[in-house]
Structure 1
C-alpha cells in the first residue's frame, strides 16, 4: 500500500470473512483499489498462466523449507520478490530480489522494480529458469534419489 506503483496486487490465497475483516481493521486495504483478494485457484493450468503473465510474484513464507509454490514461481514468473529468510535465499539465490519486514522495505523494492526496464526483468526471469533447471529439475532430483538408494 505504501508503494507508488500503479499496478494491481492480486492476492491468491484461502481467505475467510473473519481474516479479511481483521486485515481491514489493521490496514484499511479496501481503500486501496490496487489490492484484490481473488481467492484460491486450484486449477493448475490456470495458476501456471497467472504466474506466467504476472508482473511479479511475491513470496512471503518465512518458515519451512523448499516451498513448491516458490519453485513453480521461479520456473514460470519473470520477476520474483522473496521474503529475505535463509531458505528463500538458498532456493532463489541471484535469481530473485529480496525484501524484509522493516518498515518501508517492501514498498521501496516495489518502487525499484517499477523502474526496471524489460531487459533487466528478463535477465531475472532467465536466471530463475536456470536456477530451477540446475537445482530442482525432476531429472536432477531423480538422480540424487538414485545415488542415495544405491549407497
Structure 2
C-alpha cells in the first residue's frame, strides 16, 4: 500500500534557500522513488519548477502566508498544515519548531508527525525577546505533540533531553561528492579565503568582515551570502568590496556547481556559525575538501572532529589563524584530505535519507499500533 507524506516548513521543492531546502531536494525524490506519495509545501516564487533535476513524482504545493521576517514561517506552516489535513496525508514531516503550534491540529486528525527541531532558535541573536519566546513555546508544543523528533546533532539532542525530556532520532545533514570544478574568475587555487553564510550576527559575519580588513591587501577573499532582506551587514560588505579590489561578494549562490567549485579550491574556508547543530554548509564544505577554520563551538567540533582548525570570534585571532593556514601548504592539504574522508564516512546522503524514511515508518507504525 502506498503511503503519503506531507513535508511542511520549507520554502518548497525544489528550492535552494537553506539547509532545510537542501535536505528536501534530496529527501523528496528519494521517498517518491521508494513508493511514497510525496507532497512538499512551499511558497509562491520560491520554487524552481523548471529545474532540470526536479523529480516529477514529487508534488509541489504552495499555500499562502505573510511574507515578513517574523511571520512567514508560522503563517505558511499553518496554511500548509490545514491543507495537509484536508488531503488526509498519512504522516507529516515538519521542519522547524516554529510550526510546533500547529501539531495539535495534526494530532486531533490522527496524522502522526516527525519534526526536525533545527537548532536552538531561542538562543539566536537575530531574534528579539518576543520571537525567542515564540520559538521556545513552539518547542514546548513540539515536545508535547510531535510523534517523533529528529535532531541533526548529538549536542542538540542532549539539550532537548535536558530541557524538554524528549529523546529522538539523530539524523545529520548530508553532503554531495562532486566532480572537480575550477574556481574561475581569476581566483588562485588554495590561495583565497571563503565565507559562505547567511548574514546574521550569530554566523560571526561582522567579526569576519573586520578580520578581512586586517588581512594583507593582496589576499583574495570571496564572500557568499546575504540576509535576504538587506541591512547593515550588506552595507558593510559592499563598503569592504568598494575599498579592497581583492574582495568579492557574490551574494546568494544557488548554482551548486559554482558553490562546490569555490569550496573545492579555497585556501581557507571560514565557518563562523555559533548556534545550530550539524550545519549543512559545513558538511558540504567538508565533502568538497575545503581546509576549514571554524568558530570554536560544541557543534562545529562535533562535526569536524580533528579535521579542522578552530578560533574564537575575535577579529584579530580570526585574521591570524587565516594567515597561518594560508602560509602552510602542507597543513592545508592535510586538512583537505581529512575533512573529505570524514564527510564520506559520517555525512553521506544515502545514510541520511534512509534514516529519515525509517523515522517516518516508525512514526506511522507507532501511531497505528
TM-score category of the 2 structures, normalised to the smaller one: 0.7 to 0.9
Q: Which of 265, 272, 275 is the aligned partner of 1:60?
A: 272
Cα distance in structure 2, aligned partners of 1:122 and 1:5: 24
Larger radius of gyration: 2
**Partner of 1:20 in structure 2?**
234
- TM-score after normalising by structure 1: 0.81
- TM-score after normalising by structure 2: 0.36
How far does the alpha carbon of each residue in 1:48-103 deviate from its partner, in whole angstroms, 9 at most, with x for none?
Answer: 12211222211111111101111000110331111111101110111111111125
Q: Secondary structure at the match of 1:48?
A: helix
Work out whether residues 7 and 34 of structure 1, in 8 Å CA contact, stay in contact via their aligned partners in 2: yes
1:120 matched to 2:331: yes
1:7 matched to 2:219: yes
**How far is 1:147 from its partner?**
7.6
Work out whether residues 268 and 325 of structure 2, in 8 Å CA contact, stay in contact via their aligned partners in 1: no
Cα distance in structure 1, aligned partners of 2:285 and 2:315: 26
Work out whether residues 5 and 114 of structure 1, in 8 Å CA contact, stay in contact via their aligned partners in 2: no
**Partner of 2:293 in structure 1?**
81
**Partner of 1:111 in structure 2?**
323
Q: 1:85 to 1:64 in 2, by over 3 A?
A: same
Cα distance in structure 2, aligned partners of 1:116 and 1:43: 30
* Count of residues in Structure 1 that have an aligned counterpart in Structure 2: 147
Cα distance in structure 2, aligned partners of 1:80 and 1:5: 21
1:135 matched to 2:346: yes
Q: Secondary structure at the match of 2:305?
A: helix
**Greater share of residues in helix:** 1
- Higher RCO (CA-CA < 8 Å; seq separation 6+): 1
**Partner of 2:258 in structure 1?**
46
Q: Which of 73, 76, 94 is the aligned partner of 2:306?
A: 94
**How far is 1:42 from its partner?**
0.4
Work out whether residues 82 and 99 of structure 1, in 8 Å CA contact, stay in contact via their aligned partners in 2: yes
Cα distance in structure 2, aligned partners of 1:10 and 1:137: 27
Cα distance in structure 1, aligned partners of 2:253 and 2:314: 30
Cα distance in structure 1, aligned partners of 2:323 and 2:265: 19
Cα distance in structure 2, aligned partners of 1:5 and 1:77: 26
Gaps of 5+ in 1: none
Cα distance in structure 1, aligned partners of 2:342 and 2:217: 28
